[in-house]
Amino acid sequence: MQLLYADEQGRMYDHVLGAVGRTGDRLVEITDEDMVELPPGASLTLLPDSSPVGMNKHGDFKLLRRVPRGGGSALAVGALLPQGYTRTLLPGYSRRADRPLPLLGYAAVGWRAGRVYVAAVRTDDPDRWDPKHYNAENLPQLVRNRLDRSPHNRVLAQMAHCALEYSCYTAQNIFYSRWEGGLPMSPACNARCLGCISLQPAQCCPSPQTRLTFCPTHAEAVEVARHHLLHAPEGIISFGQGCEGEPALAADDIAQVINSVRRETGRGTINMNSNAGYTRGVEKICRSGLDSLRVSLISAREQVYHAYYRPRDYRLADVAESIRTARSLGVYVSLNLLVLPGLNDRDVEIEALVNFIEENDVNKVQLRNLNIDPDYLYSRVPADGEIWGIGRLIEALRDVPGLELGNFSKPVTW
C-alpha cells in the first residue's frame, strides 16, 4: 500500500514510500486488514498545513515535505467516509501550523494498483445515506414549493437553510418527504462539547454551521412533524439536530408537540438525539410518546466523558439514569458512540463501555466517526490503556447479547 499525497493545487500523487496511518498519538504501518477500496460517497480531502508521513523499506517513518522535482510543498491526504463505514485509522501526517484542523472525520488512505484504499470497515447498509439520493436538481424547487405553502413557518425556513447551504441530509428529507427528517427545537445546551458543530465554545476552530436562534412555536413544530409522519415512507422525526442545542431542555414544548401529533396519527417513529444529561426532561418526553432515544457518548469512563462534553450541570451518572428511565418506559435506546482510533478502542474503554451497555439495557450502538483534530482532542482528553484497535472494539460490541450495531437510526418496530 503506497503513500498517497497531494501538491498545493490539490493534484494527487503516489509515492514509493509505504502508506502510514495513525492511532492515538502513534504512527503505524497500514496493512491490508485495515483497508477497503474507497467506497461510493467517500471523498478525498487535503489536510491543511500538514505534511504526509510514509514508511521506507526498512520500516522507518519518513516525512515528505516537498513534491519531487520542484513541485512545491507536499500535503497530507485523507478521506471523508459516507454513512455506513467506520474509520479504523487516522492519516499519518505532521502538522506545520498550530491552529487545529477543520472539524472533519479524516481517515487514512493508500494507493495500490491504480486504486485508492481507505482505512475503514463497513458497519451498516449505507444506501439511505448515499449522496446519490441527495442534492438532486429538483431540491431547490421542492424547498420553494414547501415554503410557499407555509411562508411563516420559521422551522421550515431553518430546515431550508440547512438543506441548501449545509447539505444536511435530515433537513433535505423534510422536503423530499421521506425517511429520517430533522426537527430542531432547542437553541440552548447544557454541555460545551469540544467538537460541537453548531456552536464552538471551545474555540478550537470555526463551527461548520450556525445554531438555531429561536424557540419554535407549537404550531410550527406540529406542522412539520405531522406532515412528515403522515407522508414519509418509513418516516422518522428526530429532535436534536446538529443545528440546535440539547432538546431535553425544551421538554415541555417537545412533549406537547408529540402529544398533538400522536392524537392525529400513529404512523412513523418519533426519535430524539440527546446527551441525556437532563433526566427530568428526558423522562417527560418519553412519557409523551417518544419511540426512540439516541444518546451521545464518547466514553463510559467519567474522566474522559467530562473532559469532552464539559457538562454544565450534570454528570455521566445522570446520563445512565436517563437511559434506564427511557428503557423502563418502553423507549428504544441507542448510543451514538463518537469513535476516534486510539481513544475508544483501548482496553479500559472497551471494558467500561460493555459494562455500561449491559448495566443500562442499551438496545443498539451507532458508531459515529468523530469530526475533530486528534491533536487538539488528545491535548484535552485523557487516554490511557492499551490500544486494541477499532476491529477489536467492534468485535466486543458484537459479542454483547441482544445488542444491535450499526451507524444510524432506523424505524422502531417491536
Domains of the chain with CATH codes? 2-122 (no CATH), 127-406 (3.20.20.70)
- Per DSSP, the three-state class of 219 is helix
- Burial of 338-362, coded b for 16+ CB within 10 Å and e otherwise, reads bbbbbbbbbeebbebbbebbeebeb
The Cα 22–Cα 78 span in angstroms is 11
Neighbouring C-alpha atoms within 13 Å toward the C-beta of 163: 31
Q: pLDDT tens across 348-380, in order? A: 999 999 999 999 999 999 999 999 999 999 999
Strand 269-274: give its sheet, edge to edge.
Answer: 180-182, 236-239, 269-274, 292-297, 332-339, 364-369, 404-406
Q: Which residue has the cell 487516554?
A: 383
For all residues of the chain together, what is the average pLDDT? 93
Number of Cβ within 10 Å of residue 157's Cβ equals 15
pLDDT one-digit tens code per residue, 41-57: 899 999 999 999 999 99
Decide: 194 and 249 in contact? Cβ < 8 Å.
no
Could you tell me if 275 and 305 are in contact, meaning their C-beta atoms sit under 8 angstroms apart? no
pLDDT at 1: 92
269-282 mean pLDDT = 98
pTM of the model: 0.93
Closest listed residue to residue 269, CA positions, set 240, 295, 236: 236
